[in-house]
Amino acid sequence: MKTRIQTLKTKLLLPLVAVGLALAVQQANAQTTIAKWTFESATTSGSLTNTSTTNFFAEAGTQAGIAAVTGKHLGVATYSTPAGNGSAKSLSANGWTNIGDYYQVAVSTVSYTNIGISFDAVGSATGPRDFIVKYSTDGVNFTQFGSAYTVLSSPSWSAGTPQVGETYTYDLSSITSLANVSTVYFRLVVNSTNNIGGGSGGGVGTGGTSRIDNINVLGTIAGPPQIITQPPNTTNFFGDTATITVVAGGDAPLSYQWFTNSMPLTALTDGSSGYGSGTIAGTISSTLTLTFLNTNQTGDYRVVVSNPRDSVTSSVVHVQVNVRPTIVTNIAYLHKLNDANFALTDKTNVYQVDGIVTTIGNLVSGTTEVESFYVQDGTGGVDVFYRGGFSFPNTGDHVRITAPLDQFNGGLEMAPINGNPSHTIENLGTGAVPDPQFFNFTTLPTSVVMEETNEGRYMVVSNVFLAVTNADAHLVGNEIIFMTNLTGQVFRMIVANNPVLGPVGYALPGSFATSVRGVMSQSQTSGTVLTNGYSLILTDFSQIEVGTPPVIVNPIPLNIQLSGANVVLTWSDASFNLQSATNVVGPYSNIPAAAGQTTYTDAITNQANFYRLQHP
């Protein structure tokens, strides 16, 4: 069954310990690239001893072709340009056996404040592990910034997809002496003899390399506020979220105020948009966010950026809110929206289906409000999962779901979002739960049948032994019940993960069931081909009909063949009674005309018929 877990993703953060220093999540003002190096055009001069390399000039930024990177080693060093982090080249050197060897960046910050630097770094296993960042405005007296950073040796770089976790970012905006200076020097200095891999005695080898790439020196344009990047026009759909961002520069502090483009301009404020659950946020920041958009919010917007020197107004940005067309379809169609691995291929469009609720109660629970139930039409069934905001239906209710699709552990979901005005769960009245479809797991159906036909459907199995593996017979949420049929095959039933449902806290009502009904769910927690983890869902003991295992005396096969408009049944022992029923679970009754016979012909009708042999 379903368990929701939030995963925290962490990024490498460099500790900053200098007095008065702080690492901001985002600097107060938009940053402009002063100089950037990707080393795509770099050429190296081979081995150098106790000297600096020639200049490697910046390829981008306002100081392209002027700002320079160099390196210096006390011993012999060989420079090269191997593959970068997602690019063809980087700058690499060996010979880092002396503490104090460094890479150096020299750049002018005239007309810029709030200086920062970022770079990618990696090394070989015997390359230097520990570096510190230093800065200077005269090239002679250098000050350490923050504490040491540690370089990794893997994953290795290539010209393909760039690696993450190997980018180091420093915000030096609090070091005001670096602003508006003719030359600022940054050095990446080796400060220990430890190698990255820890082998070879732990020391840096003469052939150990350190590689850098994508060096970026940033700053804020000084003076009156300027619009660096105008906010772009945006087209969104009813119920979606729009974000509009302006990039501005100028002396700190910069302040922002967003307006609707009415005459006179009307200032926006954070809070409700006035349309359903819609909200407005960021009205005094560089990014304006409008949630659960309404078509009435179509229109023009502007932002005014100010600092103590002046203010500037952006160009008009147009927000267009369209209505996404709803695709009215059946549930079987939804199950075909997958790729070769049965992964969902459409999480964008909004679909509408009608069906009957087939499950009892809410199938999930959590620290926040969550709801789940299954709905089935004449073509298939599907889970409906949401986080509050809609009335929960009863078993047998006829409902209409309008929502986008999602997938959790392989299982298909319709996922309406609380507050989105285009997502709805409508109760159309009371209906009838459909008859369950018989599921024979003696030989499992193909993956296509399980994924596109059986998943989400209300089903029934017959004549199974029930067992759990826990020493405590009292059931808990997500516990697996093993169902073993009369020929020894095993299939699973899973207890719904909600402690308020009947089975939780109680033992199974018996060890054998003549029938077990439940919706076919999927919960595959690993692998890329989503064709495992199937089970029926148990939400109430009324789904289990306890009985006595049948006594099988010399079981014989019952053969069925079609012959025109008839079905012909044959068997080998005339002492057995042929019985029929209109439902797989019965009741079954003898067919008098077949008594004492070994063959029987029955006419095909529009009604389903089930047959079995019974020893008298």
- The answer to whether residues 300 and 362 belong to one domain is no
Decide if pLDDT at 287 tops 60.
Answer: yes
- The answer to whether residues 92 and 179 belong to one domain is yes
Tokens for 42? 């770099």
Task: Let me know if residue 554 belongs to a domain.
Answer: no
Provide DSSP, 589-616: EE-GGGTT-SEEEEE--SS--EEEEE--
Q: What's the pLDDT score for residue 321?
A: 94
Q: Which residue has better confidence, 610 or 429?
A: 429
- According to DSSP, residue 451 is labeled I
Q: Residue 124 belongs to a domain with what CATH number?
A: 2.60.120.260
- The answer to whether residues 450 and 479 belong to one domain is yes
Report strand pairing: 405-408 vs 411-414.
antiparallel
Q: Cβ of 359: how many Cβ atoms within 10 Å?
A: 26
Task: Let me know if residue 19 belongs to a domain.
Answer: no
* C-alpha neighbours within 13 Å on the C-beta side of residue 529: 4
Domain boundary among 221, 245, 271: 221
Closest CA to 109 of 30, 173, 189, 168: 173
Q: Residue 293 belongs to a domain with what CATH number?
A: 2.60.40.10
Q: What's the pLDDT score for residue 423?
A: 93
The predicted model scores a pTM of 0.58
Whether the ω angle into residue 416 lies within 30 degrees of 0, i.e. cis, is: no
| Rounded Cα distance, 372 and 392, in Å | 9
- The answer to whether residues 490 and 608 belong to one domain is no
Element (H, E) at 569: strand 566-570
Q: Which of 93-97, 416-420, 524-528, 540-544 has the lowest mean pLDDT?
A: 524-528
- The answer to whether residues 232 and 294 belong to one domain is yes
- The answer to whether residues 295 and 192 belong to one domain is no
Angle at 396 between CA 395 and CA 401, to 5 degrees: 90
Task: Let me know if residue 78 belongs to a domain.
Answer: yes
How many domains does the chain contain in total?
5
Percent of the chain's residues with pLDDT above 90: 62
Q: Residue 415 belongs to a domain with what CATH number?
A: 2.40.50.140
Residue 74 pLDDT grade (very low, low, confident, very high; cuts 50, 70, 90): confident
Find which of 152-161, 396-405, 577-586 is predicted with most confidence, using mean pLDDT.
Answer: 396-405
| Rounded Cα distance, 518 and 535, in Å | 9
Task: Let me know if residue 507 belongs to a domain.
Answer: yes
Residue 446 pLDDT grade (very low, low, confident, very high; cuts 50, 70, 90): very high
Amino acid at 187: R
- The answer to whether residues 73 and 164 belong to one domain is yes
Q: Residue 495 belongs to a domain with what CATH number?
A: 2.40.50
How big is the chain, counted in residues? 616
Q: Which residue has better confidence, 305 or 14?
A: 305
Q: What's the pLDDT score for residue 58?
A: 93
Exposed, middle or buried, 381 (CB in 10 Å: 0-12/13-18/19+)? buried
| Rounded Cα distance, 351 and 308, in Å | 52
Decide if pLDDT at 27 tops 60.
Answer: no
Contact, 288 vs 268, CB < 8 A?
yes
Give the 3-state secondary structure of residue 547: coil
- The answer to whether residues 53 and 202 belong to one domain is yes
Domain boundary among 546, 576, 592: 546
Residue 24 pLDDT grade (very low, low, confident, very high; cuts 50, 70, 90): very low
Percent of the chain's residues with pLDDT above 70: 92
* Adjacent-strand bridge partners of 328: 352
Q: Which residue has better confidence, 129 or 46?
A: 129
Decide if pLDDT at 389 tops 50.
Answer: yes
Task: Let me know if residue 66 belongs to a domain.
Answer: yes
- The answer to whether residues 395 and 318 belong to one domain is no
Q: Which residue has better confidence, 4 or 552?
A: 552
Give the 3-state secondary structure of residue 452: helix
Q: Which residue has better confidence, 400 or 25?
A: 400
- The answer to whether residues 568 and 480 belong to one domain is no
Domain boundary among 488, 520, 546: 546
Decide if pLDDT at 106 tops 80.
Answer: yes
Q: What's the pLDDT score for residue 83?
A: 92
- The answer to whether residues 542 and 598 belong to one domain is no
| Rounded Cα distance, 426 and 542, in Å | 27
List pLDDT tens digits, range 153-200.
Answer: 877 888 888 888 889 999 998 998 998 899 999 999 999 999 998 765
List pLDDT tens digits, range 362-385.
Answer: 999 877 789 999 999 999 999 999
Task: Let me know if residue 534 belongs to a domain.
Answer: yes
Q: 403 vs 128, 351, 422, 484, CA distance in Å? A: 54, 6, 8, 38
Decide if pLDDT at 598 tops 70.
Answer: yes
- The answer to whether residues 539 and 468 belong to one domain is yes
Angle at 263 between CA 262 and CA 268, to 5 degrees: 45
Question: What would the mean pLDDT of 249-269 be, rounded to a whole number?
Answer: 85
Question: What would the mean pLDDT of 342-347 be, rounded to a whole number?
Answer: 94
Residue 71 pLDDT grade (very low, low, confident, very high; cuts 50, 70, 90): confident
List pLDDT tens digits, range 3-14.
Answer: 443 332 222 222
Q: What's the pLDDT score for residue 1?
A: 55
Question: What would the mean pLDDT of 300-305 be, rounded to a whole number?
Answer: 95
Q: 81 vs 214, 296, 342, 454, CA distance in Å? A: 13, 56, 43, 56
Q: What is the average pLDDT score of the chain?
A: 88
Residue 388 pLDDT grade (very low, low, confident, very high; cuts 50, 70, 90): confident
Q: What's the pLDDT score for residue 45?
A: 57
Task: Let me know if residue 584 belongs to a domain.
Answer: yes
Whether the ω angle into residue 421 lies within 30 degrees of 0, i.e. cis, is: no
Tokens for 4? 């929701």
Task: Let me know if residue 25 belongs to a domain.
Answer: no
List pLDDT tens digits, range 225-237.
Answer: 989 889 999 999 9
Where in the sequence is the domain holding 596, given as residue range(s)?
Answer: 559-614
